[in-house]
Chain A
Amino acid sequence: DAGVTQSPTHLIKTRGQQVTLRCSPKSGHDTVSWYQQALGQGPQFIFQYYEEEERQRGNFPDRFSGHQFPNYSSELNVNALLLGDSALYLCASSSTGVGETQYFGPGTRLLVL
């Protein structure tokens, strides 16, 4: 049973560019959440997708957008990259229901130069 997978594992971009990160949820899961983790900090919630709609959003600007596909996989898009966007981006999947345990992928390390 494959767990949550993310691609790419590492990425280097320059300021002002745009980036797309991808996530495939754990088998049987229908909900995908995205988190940003800066070095030495805990993960910060970006948003969550369920039934192809953004269900909840954290305190992130509109430069951060996402999408969920019919097969439950998801993309995170970041426009107009800033140096401060350098971080580990984590995807977590869960199955809608009471408790909603989230299982995390290995993350994508983004470096903005």
Chain B
Amino acid sequence: LAKTTQPISMDSYEGQEVNITCSHNNIATNDYITWYQQFPSQGPRFIIQGYKTKVTNEVASLFIPADRKSSTLSLPRVSLSDTAVYYCLVGDSPISGTYKYIFGTGTRLKVLA
């Protein structure tokens, strides 16, 4: 199963764009890349998921290079409420025969005023 590596922490200021990069060198052909946000004592909240190239939704963008060995979550114009832990996951599709998510330690993003 692919393991992910992220920076442990990041600081940013309100209004800035934040990019969090995740490394997943052993990603398998059928694996999707998913990002979650988690506030203290709450369940992780789904942000975005992608397989290749670029995916954008109302809250974030996900950039995946052609080799898929890394991915970058981009949060535009962060606010104080974006202070949270962000997890990058590689999830196995049913085709590969395994179904569990492996969470790393995540990236603690602190947004400063």
Q: A residues bordering B, Cβ < 8 Å? A: 4, 31, 33, 35, 41-45, 48, 50, 55-56, 58, 88, 90, 92, 96-107, 109
Q: Which of B18-26, B38-46, B72-80 contacts A (4 or more CB under 8 A)?
A: B38-46
Name 29 interchain pairs, CB-CB below 8 A, sorted by A: A33-B101, A35-B101, A35-B103, A43-B44, A43-B103, A44-B103, A45-B101, A45-B102, A48-B99, A48-B100, A56-B98, A58-B100, A90-B44, A92-B43, A92-B101, A98-B30, A98-B95, A99-B51, A99-B93, A100-B32, A100-B91, A100-B93, A101-B34, A102-B46, A102-B91, A103-B46, A104-B44, A107-B43, A109-B41
B100 touches A42 (CB 8 A): no
* B: interface residue count bin: 20 to 34
Extra inter-chain contacts (16) besides given A42-B103, A98-B94, CB under 8 Å: A4-B43, A31-B99, A42-B87, A42-B106, A92-B43, A92-B101, A98-B32, A98-B93, A100-B32, A100-B93, A102-B34, A102-B91, A102-B101, A103-B46, A104-B36, A104-B44
Interface presence of B70 (CB below 8 A) = no
- Known contacts A100-B91, A104-B45, A109-B41; A42/B105 CB under 8 A: yes
